[in-house]
């Protein structure tokens, strides 16, 4: 066998071993839903504070609603908002209630941003975040379930100060 063929064979074998190991780990390391939900929310909050919209957008469902209303085109607005203002959101409590493929977090929150060098924050009394377990992929090839935010219930009038309103 030629040298190039051997390298290809070895590389293919290594890839198959890695795929097999990943599948085996997936079968044996089941993480509970509450842990997965908390990871998703905390990762999204961290990405928001750092101004990384991609880290937030991947946690949002394609069917995201705010106060029960559809949000066409909202993802580009959310991305712009996160890049510009780097909102720091703190939830007073992160205790998800899980009901099958849906979960809910109800909590007061504080959102802070820096506008023109001035820190501004607002208290949000009643925030309800609904998450749904959706199909996703890890490394673009391994199917998995991911918890994504599908609805946010919040008094949006409290956020007017961030929009100049």
Taking the whole predicted model, whether its pTM rises above 0.85 is answered as: no
Q: Residue 49 contacts by C-beta under 8 Å, 6 or more apart in sequence?
A: 86, 87, 88, 89
CA atoms within 13 A on the CB side of 118: 4
Q: Which of 119, 105, 120, 123 is nearest to 40 (CA)?
A: 105
Q: Considering the domain 30-163 in this protein, what is its CATH number? A: 3.10.450.50
Per-residue pLDDT of the chain (165 residues; tens, 9 = 90+): 566 556 666 665 566 555 555 555 554 556 788 998 999 999 999 999 999 999 998 899 888 888 888 877 778 888 998 998 899 999 999 999 999 999 999 999 999 988 888 888 889 888 999 999 988 777 667 777 889 999 999 887 766 655 554
């Amino acid at each position: 066998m030629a040298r190039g063929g051997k390298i290809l064979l070895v590389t293919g074998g290594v890839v198959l071993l890695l795929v097999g190991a990943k599948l085996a780990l997936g079968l044996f390391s089941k993480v509970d839903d509450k842990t997965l939900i908390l990871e998703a929310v905390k990762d999204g909050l961290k990405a928001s504070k750092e101004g990384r919209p991609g880290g937030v957008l991947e946690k949002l469902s394609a069917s995201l609603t705010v106060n029960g209303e559809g949000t066409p085109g909202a993802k580009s607005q959310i991305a712009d908002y996160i890049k510009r203002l780097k909102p720091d959101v703190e939830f007073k409590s992160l205790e998800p209630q899980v009901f099958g493929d849906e979960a809910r977090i109800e909590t007061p929150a504080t959102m802070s941003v820096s506008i023109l060098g001035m820190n501004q924050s607002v208290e949000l009394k009643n925030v309800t975040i609904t998450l749904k377990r959706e199909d996703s992929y890890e490394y673009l090839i391994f199917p998995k379930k991911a918890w994504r935010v599908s609805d946010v219930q919040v008094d949006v009038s409290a956020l007017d100060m961030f929009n100049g309103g």
